[in-house]
Amino acid sequence: MKSRHWSCLTGLGALFVISLAGCSQQPPQAPEHHPSVRAQVMTVTVGQGISYEPVPGTVLPTEQVQLSSRLSGYLHGLKVHVGQSVQAGQLLFQVDPRQVDSQVAQAQAGLAQAQANLADAKSNYQRFQKLYQAQAIPEKQWDQIKSQYETARAQVAAAMAEAGSAQSQLRYARVTAPFAGIITEKFLQDGDLVAPGRPVLTLANPNVLEVQCSVGSRAFALLSLGERIPVQANGRLLEARVQDLVPVADPMTHSHLVKLSLPSPDGVQAGDFVQVQIPDSENSNASLQIPSTALLNRAGIPGVFVVNEHGIAEYRMVRPGVVSGGQVTILAGLNPGDRIVVKNAAAVNNGDRIVQIEGSHD
């Protein structure tokens, strides 16, 4: 009797344990939903390309000038400040012209005196010319009269030149902007005493920029004017053009200065640090090249969408190199065999399911 009762209890306990085990299991989850995007996909393969040597460079304004005065005096009207935009021809400052005014007055007085002397000499010349023709005076006296007349004419010419020079100095008292730009430096304040050649302001045009870098002799020999060079700046890949090649090497570093013009200052400003990709055509290596349509820039990060084995797009950061003929060389971030989105990539987001459109190839 007891054994039967114990057996019933044992059976009920086992049943209770099984029930608990069943309750502990989680209900089946619904499959994760991925939005579908139609896009073209390709498989990355290894190709033959040119190696590049990264060289540090600096972005500088192509138009930049230090403004100074050719006169000595006190500054007046120097109201501009650093960072201020100015227009071409705008008055920037003046130099007290009182000293120049006195020079102009003195030159004009000298000119008036020279012109009066010339008038007397001309009158004598005309009078003695008639006497000489009538043989009333000796030839030696006539020669002296002619010499005095020529000297008076020369003195007038010299006085006119001096007066013109003094007048031009007066124009130097007003200094205007030679081109539209931004004041980047201010060395003196209104009321300071300025001397000829002493800088007062620095003016730069932020809309016309260039990149300056130094390269070794071997890399310098491979460059040519007008050549397109890739430049990495602030996470973006820009294409610059070689505009100046300085043939004389620096005696300390034995490197050559190279200047590259930037097509647009958008996203880049003077003072930025960049990486200039100098091509080395003597060395070729295996490289990965993808269509430039596959390369994106999300939040300042260059990358591509890689399609995994489940057809899901994953954004992967890459390091792009040169862009040529609609192709971009990938220096890091991709491997041969990776499948990437090459068409309609801008419509893809991380985690989207890619539906291959016609023309896709693996």
> What CATH number has the domain spanning 38-62+208-356?
2.40.30.170
Read off the pTM.
0.53
CATH superfamily of the domain spanning 97-171: Helix hairpin bin (1.10.287.470)
**Residue-level pLDDT at 37:** 87
User: What are the extents of the domains in the chain?
Assistant: 38-62+208-356, 64-95+173-204, 97-171
**Residue-level pLDDT at 99:** 65
- Close Cβ partners of 281 (under 8 Å, ≥ 6 residues apart): 50, 222
Whether the Cβ atoms of residue 361 and residue 39 lie closer than 8 Å to each other? no
Report the distance separating Cα 299 and Cα 258, nearest Å: 31
**Residue-level pLDDT at 18:** 40
Beta bridge partners of 280: 51
Q: Render each residue's pLDDT in the chain as its tens digit; 362 residues.
A: 444 443 443 444 444 334 434 444 444 444 456 788 888 898 988 765 566 778 999 999 999 999 998 888 889 889 999 999 999 999 999 888 766 667 777 888 888 898 888 898 888 888 888 888 888 888 888 888 889 989 989 998 998 888 877 777 677 888 999 999 999 999 999 999 998 889 999 999 988 899 999 999 888 988 999 988 888 887 777 889 999 999 999 999 999 999 999 877 677 888 899 989 887 655 445 568 888 888 998 888 889 999 999 899 999 998 887 666 677 888 788 888 899 999 888 889 988 998 888 664 54
Closest CA to 279 of 229, 213, 331, 215: 229
**Residue-level pLDDT at 24:** 43
Report the distance separating Cα 220 and Cα 258, nearest Å: 8
Give the architecture (CATH level 2) of 64-95+173-204. Beta Barrel (2.40)
Whether the Cβ atoms of residue 86 and residue 176 lie closer than 8 Å to each other? no
**Residue-level pLDDT at 4:** 45
Record the tokens describing residue 139, joined without a space: 């030839």
Whether the Cβ atoms of residue 83 and residue 56 lie closer than 8 Å to each other? no
